[in-house]
């Protein structure tokens, strides 16, 4: 028997294209998983440090809360400059605090005017209590005020957690201080001394801050010249009044200076005024001596002639002696004037060294 040739078995055909694709897919998945792991690692690191922050020196601070509990309340540590680590929220939470911050009060300031129509006069605008803020001075004047207060946090924990909004409370404190200080001073004091008025506002603010335990200290309060205004309706009239009063003060000052110069000139031993003063003094001394001599003479007469009759006889004697001396003087002329009627009684006048009176010529005479 002859042997039959052995036929080879059928072998499956290999799909080389699909195998290459599978391998490529496997490599791609491995690369993707590697990248994903790297991304997850980066995200994990970012998540861990996502709440990390930095604090600037002397400008701000922060308190870290871990599950709602403050990690530190020490002031120096709160405002210590540098990088702070905190776990992501909600594990840790940071409360940022500004070390110093301004608060401005405009509760006593007038509202913005808005657009002004043609023909409107802003100076005739009255105070609108529903929109405008104002304060009353001690002398009952309406005034518009605004002020700025700088505060510094002294107790970070009390400031951050003692009140729901400590800054809003400070705003109310400044508003109250401005109104209260205005009620303790006259309008002129506030206008002429805004710095002194600012000191009064600061004193009131310090008292309220201590009373309410806000955990801050007031650094300063500023009230400038432009922060004090009168209502529009009275501004021009008051400015005119102030100008007139200022002119009156200047006039009084000038008059006082001129009077001082005159007094200095009088007291100076030189010049025309000094000559007049000396003449006046000499005349006053002469008159005083004459009056003194006359008074002494009358005193002597009273002492020598104590009774009225003796004094009368002495006066008559002096009269006759004077008439004799006049009669013996040839330069003295005596004229007798004719008597008058009943309605015009006669009067005797001695006209010494005078020309005789003119006699009116009768009408129709020769």
Partner residues linked to 84 by β-bridges: 53
Mean pLDDT of 345-365: 55
pLDDT digits (tens, 9 = 90+) for 94-126: 888 888 899 999 888 888 754 444 545 566 667
| Average per-residue pLDDT for the chain | 78
Q: Give me the pLDDT at residue 356, please.
A: 55
pLDDT digits (tens, 9 = 90+) for 200-237: 999 999 999 999 999 999 999 999 878 888 887 777 77
In the chain, where the domains are located: 26-97, 99-111+124-230
pLDDT at 325 over 70: yes
Which tokens go with 152?
């510094």
Smallest CA-to-CA distance from 171 within 186, 128, 163, 182 is with: 163
Give the least confident one: 175-184, 248-257, 296-305, 357-366: 357-366
Q: Give me the pLDDT at residue 116, please.
A: 44
Mean pLDDT of 2-6: 53
Smallest CA-to-CA distance from 106 within 135, 126, 139 is with: 135
Is the entire prediction scored with pTM above 0.75?
Answer: no
pLDDT digits (tens, 9 = 90+) for 141-186: 889 999 999 999 988 888 888 898 999 999 999 999 999 999 999 9
- How would you write 181-226 as a 3-class SS string? HHHCCCHHHHHHCHHHHHHHHHHHHHHHHHHHCCCEEEEEEECCHH
d(CA 12, CA 15): 9
pLDDT digits (tens, 9 = 90+) for 59-68: 788 878 878 7
CATH of domain 99-111+124-230: 3.30.479.30
């Amino acid at each position: 028997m002859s042997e039959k040739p052995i036929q080879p078995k059928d072998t499956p055909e290999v799909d080389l294209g699909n195998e290459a694709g599978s391998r490529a897919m496997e490599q791609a998945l491995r690369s993707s998983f590697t990248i994903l792991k790297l991304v997850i690692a980066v995200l994990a690191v970012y998540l861990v440090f996502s709440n990390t922050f930095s604090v600037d020196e002397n400008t701000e601070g922060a308190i870290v809360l871990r599950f709602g509990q403050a990690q530190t309340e020490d002031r120096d540590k709160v405002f210590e400059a540098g990088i702070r680590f905190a776990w992501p929220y909600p594990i840790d939470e940071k409360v940022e605090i500004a070390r110093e911050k301004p608060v401005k009060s405009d509760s006593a300031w007038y509202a913005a005017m808005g657009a002004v129509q043609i023909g409107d006069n802003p100076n005739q605008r009255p105070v609108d209590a529903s929109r405008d803020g104002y304060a009353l001075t001690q002398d009952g004047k309406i005034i518009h005020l605004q002020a700025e207060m700088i505060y510094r946090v002294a107790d970070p924990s009390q400031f951050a957690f003692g009140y729901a909004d400590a800054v809003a409370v400070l705003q109310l404190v400044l508003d109250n201080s401005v109104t209260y200080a205005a009620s303790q001073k006259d309008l002129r004091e506030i206008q002429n001394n805004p710095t002194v008025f600012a000191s009064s506002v600061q004193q009131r603010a310090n008292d309220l801050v201590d009373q309410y335990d806000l955990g801050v200290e007031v650094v300063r309060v500023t009230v400038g010249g432009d922060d004090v205004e009168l209502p529009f309706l009275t501004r021009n009239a008051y400015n005119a009044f102030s100008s007139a009063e200022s002119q009156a003060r200047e006039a009084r000052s000038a008059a006082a200076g001129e009077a001082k110069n005159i007094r200095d000139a009088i007291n100076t031993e030189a010049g025309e005024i000094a000559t007049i003063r000396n003449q006046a003094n000499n005349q006053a001394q002469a008159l005083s001596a004459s009056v003194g001599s006359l008074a002494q003479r009358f005193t002597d007469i009273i002492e020598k002639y104590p009774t009225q009759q003796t004094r009368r006889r002495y006066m008559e004697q002096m009269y006759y002696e004077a008439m004799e001396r006049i009669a013996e003087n040839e330069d003295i002329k005596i004229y007798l004037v004719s008597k008058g009627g009943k309605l015009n009684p006669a009067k005797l006048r001695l006209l010494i060294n005078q020309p005789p009176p003119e006699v009116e010529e009768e009408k129709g005479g020769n």
